[in-house]
């Protein structure tokens, strides 16, 4: 069982709350550059962000998804991103987003490392080994700023290869 709250040197990962809606909307959910390679379009209204957060809070009632809001320890607790771990049987994958103002500081790597450590530390004595792959986000080192489709596929494959050994 994974904890609701995870602490790293610079971050606190915690379940999302409805109080996060406006901050998430303002910092990244409506930013076209941040959401460019994500599975959702930029939100046009805070109500879209609210619906997403409601789904995330409901996910904690189950046992397959763990969406965490990332907050900086030194910045008063406002959301700077999210990380969503999805486990299915012996596999896990992660989706994540980070506010543009936070790019290039290693925050997502720090968050992913903490989650990966916890996932791998789970008791799996009666289970098959867990395999996981964390796939790309546009600002990961080595990922082209405006990649072509073939570059995206290649970078995604390289990142998954790297992160499969990481996780």
DSSP 42: P
The whole-number pLDDT of residue 124 equals 60
Count Cβ neighbours within 10 Å for each residue of 100-121 and write b for 16 or more, e otherwise: eebbeeebbebbbebbbebbee
- pLDDT at 162 (0 to 100): 30
Q: What are the pLDDT tens digits along the chain (167 aa)?
A: 789 999 999 999 999 999 999 999 999 999 999 999 888 899 999 999 999 999 999 999 998 999 999 999 987 778 999 999 998 877 889 999 999 999 999 999 999 999 999 988 876 654 545 444 444 444 444 444 444 444 443 433 333 333 332 32
> Does the domain formed by 6-166 have CATH 3.30.1600.10?
no
Strand bridging mode 11-14 / 79-88:
unpaired
Task: Domain ranges for the chain, please list them.
Answer: 6-166
What predicted TM-score, i.e. pTM, was given to this entire model?
Answer: 0.75
Q: What is the pLDDT of residue 125?
A: 54
Asked if 71 and 78 count as a contact pair (C-beta separation under 8 A), the reply is: yes
Terminal Cα-to-Cα distance of the chain (whole angstroms) = 17
pLDDT value at residue 155: 38
Angle, vertex CA 48, rays to CA 43 and CA 52, nearest 5: 110
Q: Kind of pairing, strands 79-88 and 6-7? A: unpaired
- What is the C-alpha separation between 90 and 145, in angstroms, rounded? 33
């Amino acid at each position: 069982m994974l904890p609701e709250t995870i602490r790293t040197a610079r971050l606190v990962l915690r379940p999302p709350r409805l109080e996060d809606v406006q901050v998430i909307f303002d910092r990244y959910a409506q930013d076209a550059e941040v959401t460019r390679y994500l599975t959702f379009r930029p939100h046009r209204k805070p109500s879209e962000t609210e619906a997403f957060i409601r789904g995330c809070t409901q996910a904690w009632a189950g046992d397959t998804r763990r969406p965490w809001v990332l907050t900086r320890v030194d910045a008063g607790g406002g959301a700077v991103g999210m990380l969503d771990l999805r486990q299915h049987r012996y596999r896990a994958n992660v989706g994540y987003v980070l506010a543009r103002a936070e790019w290039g500081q290693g925050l997502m790597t720090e968050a992913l490392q903490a989650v990966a450590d916890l996932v791998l530390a789970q008791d799996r004595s009666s289970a098959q080994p867990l395999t996981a792959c964390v796939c790309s986000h546009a600002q990961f080192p080595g990922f082209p700023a405006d990649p072509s489709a073939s570059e995206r596929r290649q970078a995604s494959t390289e990142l998954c290869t790297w992160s499969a050994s990481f996780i």
